[in-house]
Amino acid sequence: MHRKSLLWHIFLPFLAVIVLSLVLITGYTSRSLRDFFYQQSSSDLTTRAHLMTDEMVPLLLRDDEAAIQRTCEVRGKASDTRVTVVAPDGRVIGDTREDPAGMDNHGDRPEVREALAGRVGSSERYSATLGHRRIYVAVPVRHDGSIIAALRTSHSLTSIERALAVVQQRIALGGLLLAFGAAVISFVLARRISVPLRQMKEGAERFAAGQLGTRLSMAPDSEEIGALAETFNGMAEQLQDRIRTIENQRNEQEAVLASMVESVLAIDRDEVVIGINRAATELLGIEPAMAEGRTLQEVVRNPDLIALGKGVLGGGGPVEGEIVLRRDGERHLQVHATGLQGLEGQRLGALLVLNDVTRIRRLESLRRDFVANVSHELRTPITSIKGFVETLQNDPPADPDVARRFLTIVNRQADRLQAIIDDLLSLSRLEQEGGSAELAREATPVRPLLQDAVDISTARATDDVPTVRLECVDDLEVMVNAPLLEQALVNLLDNALKYSGTATEIVVAAHAEPDLIVVSVRDDGRGIAPTHLPRIFERFYRVDKARSRNMGGTGLGLAIVKHIAQAHGGEASVSSTLGEGTTFTITLPRRPDVDRAMDA
């Protein structure tokens, strides 16, 4: 709704009161003057009528209408008054202006009725005969106590109304002048009140906009307005101090929350988010501005976390629990929920502190799986060795060939056990060297390194091997630990040779990108199903467990490849299509100072 200025709130009522007062005074004065003139006219006409009644009695007794007419004409012209004589039956028998014979019966005239009833009657009305308003006064004409006629006198109101109009014009003009003067004075007074208040309003708006350094510098005559201005200035100074204190405290709190690794989320009693730090927004994948003011269900949408918050809001003590947040995969969060209390101990809401323990849980799972896999992998050759040794000890075969076959199996299982232990030691050494950032490196030509790996792998293959083709320029170099990279390539080539047919081709390639060296081993074998690809580099993970063990694999070769790549600050990846082949890729940085920490 549109609001008017205080100036108009003060000025317009003042002006309305003044104008209304002048109108009422003017109207009352005009009415009083009119009543006075009319009363004077009526009294004058009454006096004239009474003076003529004694003269009319003899004429009425003689019934001399002609004489009555002459008397009316003479007396009327002499006093500028219309004189009319009316018989008791209402018939006009004398009139100053008109012929009585042509006049209507006047018995119904109000003043005539009053006079014939024995009272003085008067009235004001428009005269159709003369065409203007007139005042009429009629008195009874008595003889011996009986009314023998009514004598009426009248004159025009035109002169009175004209005089009254002049007086009213003068009164109205004076009233307008007074109203104008009063309006000017009231406007000045209203402005003297409204201008300081408007200045204080503008100052309050500056204070509300945060400009608390400014002050109201006016010095009004009014003690109340001056005190109000001083109060505003004092309030601004106090607000400035308090806001500065609050801002410092808020900045300190925000700095503490922003630097916290833990994710912090605060909600009120209605489960509406009232605070959240940067770590929480990154963990939950939301914008800080979108989180505050929304309910916990809208921000998180995790029933376990919501239940922890409700438990604390319901009056419970500190609650701890672990939840799984399914965002970008499963993320395990350890949650500590406690109540927020005010200065007087009232419950204001709840504080949720979230720690991402996904890496810890993943490491624990990997450790359990690793122990289980190592136990399983070691148990198989140990069980086989123990079984054949016990057979040779307790029931030695008579046939030397059978004994020799048993010993061959024992030897092969011992070799397998040795290979597992060697690979485990290699992984342990890689983790130590890769994590310590002390891996010895030197500039190494890539093509000779690839050729040595091909020669080693093809030399120890027992069956016919596929064609191995090398694609690499001669001048390509990389800063690496040559023996470790050669071991990784040998492991990849061993896999390719095992799972490729003799009629296929294996391509070992290397090329340079702006900041990377990319080495790949591609085969045309049967490929790997998509479900196995995410876990292909895990320790002891096998796509075809039976065939891998029969071929002498330990299940650690690809894990060693991944760790060698990570020890150099690179990464290992795989892409495969069933029935078409598989490509393993090692990506290495061209500069060693960009190494990344190894992911166990």
Range of the domain at 584: 438-594
Residue indicated by tokens 């001056």: 226
What φ, ψ does residue 382 adopt, rounded to 5°? -65, -45
Residue 182, domain member (yes or no): no
Residues of the chain with pLDDT under 70: 1-11, 128-130, 194, 217-225, 257-258, 316, 328, 343, 345, 366, 369-378, 380, 416, 419-420, 422-439, 460-464, 501-503, 539-540, 542-555, 591-600
Output the pLDDT for position 549: 47
Pair (366, 349) in one structural domain: no
Of 577, 563, 594, the closest CA to residue 478 belongs to 594
Residue 381 and residue 468 share a domain? no
In a domain, 171, yes or no: no
Domain boundary among 163, 178, 193: 163
Q: For the purposes of burial, counting CB atoms within 10 Å of the CB of 272, is it exposed (0-12), middle (13-18) or buried (19 or more)? A: middle
Which sign, positive or negative, has the C-alpha torsion 473, 478, 483, 484? negative
d(CA 584, CA 568): 17
| Same structural domain, 468 and 557 | yes
Nearest-5° Cα angle at 558, 552 to 564: 125
Cβ within 8 Å of residue 254, ≥6 positions away: none
Q: Is residue 25 part of a domain?
A: yes
Q: How many CB atoms lie within 10 A of CB 395?
A: 8
Do residue 534 and residue 579 come from a single domain? yes
Residue 20 is assigned to a structural domain of this protein:
yes
What pLDDT shows up at residue 167?
Answer: 78
Q: Extract long-range pairs of 274-283: CB within 8 Å, 24+ residues apart.
A: 274/349, 280/354, 283/325, 283/331, 283/333, 283/354, 283/356
Closest CA to 599 of 569, 574, 555: 569
The reply to whether 329 and 453 lie within a common domain is: no
Per-residue pLDDT, 532: 83
**Residue 348 in domain:** yes
Identify whether 194 is part of a domain.
Answer: no
The CATH number that applies at residue 143 is 3.30.450.20
Same domain, 13 and 147: yes
Q: What CATH number is given to the structural domain containing 444? A: 3.30.565.10
Q: Which two tokens stand for residue 417?
A: 């056990």
Look at residue 520 in the predicted model and tell me its pLDDT.
Answer: 92
Contacts of 520 (CB under 8 A, 6+ apart): 507, 508, 509, 510, 583, 584, 585, 586
For the chain, the distance separating the N- and C-terminal CA atoms, rounded to the nearest angstrom, is 69
Query: What domain count does the chain have?
Result: 5
pLDDT tens by residue, 324-364: 877 767 788 888 888 887 767 677 888 888 888 878 877 77
> Per-residue DSSP letters for 240-298?
HHHHHHHHHHHHHHHHHHHH-SSEEEEEETTSBEEEE-HHHHHHHT--HHHHTTSBHHH
| CATH number, domain with residue 406 | 1.10.287.130
Overall size of the chain counted in residues: 600
470 and 551 part of one domain: yes
What was the pLDDT predicted at 518? 92
Q: What is the pLDDT of residues 366-387, one digit of tens each?
A: 677 666 666 666 676 777 777 7
pTM: 0.41
User: Which of 374, 402, 433 marks a domain boundary?
Assistant: 433
**579 and 449 in one domain?**
yes
Long-range interactions of 559-562: CB distance < 8 A, separation 24+: 559/427, 560/423, 560/426, 560/427, 560/430, 560/487, 560/488, 560/491, 561/488, 561/491, 561/492, 561/537, 561/586, 562/537
Instruction: Indicate whether 64 and 149 sit together in one domain.
Output: yes
Among 304, 330, 353, identify where a domain stops.
Answer: 353
Tell me if 224 is assigned to some domain.
Answer: yes
Which residues, in sequence order, are CB contacts of 494 under 8 Å at separation 6+? Answer: 457, 557
Q: Are residues 238 and 320 in the same domain?
A: no
Same structural domain, 112 and 35: yes
Do the domain assignments include residue 222? yes
Same domain, 243 and 282: no
CB 199 within 8 A of CB 218: yes
Name the nearest CA neighbour of 275 among 256, 500, 577.
256
Do residues 488 and 573 lie in contact, with contact meaning Cβ atoms separated by under 8 Å?
A: no
